[in-house]
């Protein structure tokens, strides 16, 4: 039965990601809109409105009030003090472009043009409440709209008492503008004010200019802190919003990756938790079905090989018996032919025995009971069985090492490794069988000094029937089941095996088993 027939799509992954994305955009848009309203008041069309405009208005009220209370000769010093206080350069210009106070400078044309836009015809000044606020009351009289001088004052530059900023801005905000000029790069903020010159009758329509080399303007023009906080908040919202979806996807992908890696290693019992109802769930179910199918095919193949090998044992035994009888009755000329035939039958018998061993190790995993096995006696028995004359085998195994394994499977694995090392590199130098503990495991190494194996073939050495040489005969080492049997036996003991080339030459096969 196909996967799409056994599992109905609940909600496609693509639609889920798109929906999540648009919801995220909607939330970010709402957050940005609320912040823009709080930061700019009237929108995003000007930096000198909203909170930035309030800060500039408070500064303008303080500076203009102090200038109105001081003589014209003191204005330059006052603006210098306020410039240091607010970390911007402050100057006062008339709306016709003539400088009134502050450090002498030449205005760029665009700033001069902006000043001239604020010129008013004679008789059309500011509104009366503003004029009444700026004109000092006649001597001996008090202004009913202003508090007494000794109340609600704060200290300004030079120790002068100033009314609180909120009281100074009661008549409403003044018109403002902001410009950016180049050569050199400067930011200009202008606020329309009327300055009362005690040496001249009537207030002057002027503009207070605040000049800065950066858009921050000492925090007066633009404050980066709220933007940083909002940006951090947006990132945090994105992380919290997307984390469940991304984590769910990555967790499923990690499960699928681990399962496919195990299947690639021949561990077909690996499964993926198929609890999702989207494309990843379908993929996980397909992988589970593939693993079941592969397990059936591979186990069937191994069982088939085992059955064939078992069935071949009886006719081979009868052939060997018949050869024994023929050898007793043959004359001297016939005995040579009989001996050749006996060697071929013996080779066939060895192949059948290897097939039986491979099949038994592969199919008997579930019935194997692991036990604590002293390692040194098993290693000595394997070396004694497989060592040949002319091959030097060294043992470096601690007598106290104990591993968790099946004694017969472990002996078969080590015997095959020693046999291969003796066969391929017995004349090249000493063969070393060593063991050392590492963490909760014991690493058993069989290393030779032979020519080694090409790097591209290392991962295929443990495949059944794989050989470096195309021919498969007794001179070149048989049919290529030795290392496959080693891998199957070790994995049946819940261990792992790997091989690597040595420097400058040689091959090392390492078995990792749990400590007993």
pLDDT digits (tens, 9 = 90+) for 21-73: 778 878 887 887 777 666 654 443 356 666 778 888 888 999 988 988 888 88
pLDDT at 142 > cutoff 60: no
Q: Answer whether residue 503 shows pLDDT above 80.
A: yes
Q: Round to whole Å and give the CA distance between 486 and 416.
A: 7
Write down the domain spans for the chain. 15-41+229-264, 51-221, 279-362, 367-514
| Residue 168 predicted with pLDDT over 60 | no
Supply the pLDDT for residue 298.
Answer: 79
The predicted model gives 476-494 an average pLDDT of: 77
pLDDT confidence of 512, banded at 50, 70, 90? very high
Write out the CATH class of domain 279-362.
Answer: mainly alpha
Tens of pLDDT, residues 99-126:
999 999 889 998 888 888 865 444 444 3
> What tokens were used for 270?
């690996």
Q: Are both 279-362 and 367-514 of the same fold?
A: no
Torsion over CA: 407, 410, 415, 418 (sign): negative
Q: Which helix (H) or strand (E) holds 323?
A: helix 279-329
With a cut of 80, say whether residue 237 has pLDDT above it.
yes
Q: Say yes or no to pLDDT of 161 above 70.
A: no
| DSSP one-letter string for 62-130 | HHHHHHHTS-GGGHHHHHHHHHHHHTSEEEEEETTS-EEESS--PPPHHHHHHHHTT---TT--S-HHH
Using one digit for the tens of pLDDT, what is the confidence trace for 171-223? Answer: 456 788 888 888 888 888 888 888 876 666 667 788 999 999 887 887 777 77
Contacts of 296 (CB under 8 A, 6+ apart): none
Residue 317's pLDDT band, with cuts at 50, 70 and 90, is confident
13 pLDDT band, cuts 50/70/90, is low
CATH topology of domain 367-514: Heat Shock Protein 90 (3.30.565)
Query: Greater confidence, 242 or 149?
Result: 242
Handedness of CA 364, 365, 371, 375 (dihedral sign): positive
pLDDT bracket for residue 409 (50, 70, 90): confident
CA angle 204/207/212 to nearest 5° reads: 150
Provide the mean pLDDT of the chain.
Answer: 77
Please tell me the least confidently modeled range out of 52-61, 283-292, 445-454, 458-467: 458-467
Spatial CB neighbours of 410, under 8 Å, sequence gap ≥ 6: 373, 378, 403, 489, 493, 513
**Dist CA 53 CA 214 (whole Å):** 17
Most confidently modeled of 74-78, 317-321, 425-429, 475-479?
A: 74-78
**pTM of the predicted protein model:** 0.48
pLDDT of residue 234: 79
pLDDT for residue 377: 93
How far, in Å, CA of 326 to CA of 190, rounded?
123
What does the DSSP assignment read for 23-62? HHHHHHHHHHHHHHHHHHSS-SS-TTSTHHHHHHHHHHHH
- Asked whether residue 134 carries a pLDDT value surpassing 60, the answer given is no
């Amino acid at each position: 039965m196909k996967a799409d027939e056994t599992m109905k799509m609940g909600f496609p992954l693509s639609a889920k990601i798109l929906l999540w994305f648009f919801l995220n955009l909607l939330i970010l848009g709402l957050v940005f809109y609320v912040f823009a309203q709080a930061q700019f008041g009237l929108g995003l069309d000007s930096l000198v409105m909203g909170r930035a405009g309030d800060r500039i208005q408070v500064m303008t009220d303080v500076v203009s009030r102090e200038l109105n209370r001081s003589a014209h000769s003191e204005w330059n010093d006052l603006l210098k003090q306020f410039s240091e206080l607010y970390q911007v350069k402050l100057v006062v210009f008339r709306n016709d472009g003539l400088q009134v106070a502050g450090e002498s400078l030449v205005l760029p044309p665009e700033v001069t043009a902006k000043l001239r836009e604020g010129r008013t015809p004679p008789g059309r000044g500011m509104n009366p409440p503003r004029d009444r606020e700026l004109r000092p009351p006649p001597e001996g009289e008090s202004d009913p709209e202003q508090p007494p001088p000794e109340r609600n004052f704060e200290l300004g530059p030079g120790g002068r008492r100033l009314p609180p900023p909120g009281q100074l801005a009661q008549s409403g905000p003044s018109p403002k503008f902001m410009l950016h000029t180049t050569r050199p790069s400067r930011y200009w903020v202008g606020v329309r004010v009327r300055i009362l010159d005690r040496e001249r009758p009537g207030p002057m329509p002027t503009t207070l200019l605040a000049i800065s080399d950066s858009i921050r303007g000492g925090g007066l023009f633009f404050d980066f802190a709220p933007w940083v906080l909002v940006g951090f908040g947006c990132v945090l919202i994105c992380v919290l919003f997307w984390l469940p979806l991304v984590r769910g996807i990555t967790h499923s992908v990690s499960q699928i990756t681990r399962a496919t890696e195990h299947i690639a290693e021949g561990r077909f019992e690996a499964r993926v938790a198929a609890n999702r109802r989207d494309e990843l769930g379908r993929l996980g179910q397909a992988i589970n079905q593939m693993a079941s199918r592969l397990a059936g095919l591979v186990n069937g193949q191994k069982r088939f090989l085992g059955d064939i090998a078992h069935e071949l044992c009886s006719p081979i035994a009868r052939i060997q018996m018949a050869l024994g009888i023929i050898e007793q009755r043959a004359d001297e000329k016939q005995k040579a032919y009989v001996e050749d035939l006996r060697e071929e039958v013996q080779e066939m018998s060895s192949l059948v025995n290897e097939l039986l061993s491979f099949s038994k190790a592969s199919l008997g995993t579930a019935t194997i009971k692991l036990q604590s096995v002293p390692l040194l006696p098993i290693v000595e028995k394997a070396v004694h069985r497989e060592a040949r004359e002319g091959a030097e085998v060294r043992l470096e195994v601690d007598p106290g090492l104990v591993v968790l394994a099946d004694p017969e499977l472990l002996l078969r694995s080590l015997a095959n490794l020693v046999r291969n090392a003796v066969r391929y590199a017995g004349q090249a130098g000493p063969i070393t069988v060593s063991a050392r503990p590492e963490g909760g495991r014991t690493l058993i190494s069989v290393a030779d000094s032979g020519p080694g194996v090409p790097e591209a073939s290392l991962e295929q050495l443990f495949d059944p029937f794989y050989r470096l040489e195309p021919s498969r005969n007794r001179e070149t080492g048989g049919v290529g089941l030795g290392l496959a049997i080693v891998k199957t036996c070790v994995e049946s003991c819940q261990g792992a095996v790997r091989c690597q080339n040595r420097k400058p030459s040689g091959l090392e096969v390492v078995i990792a088993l749990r400590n007993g």
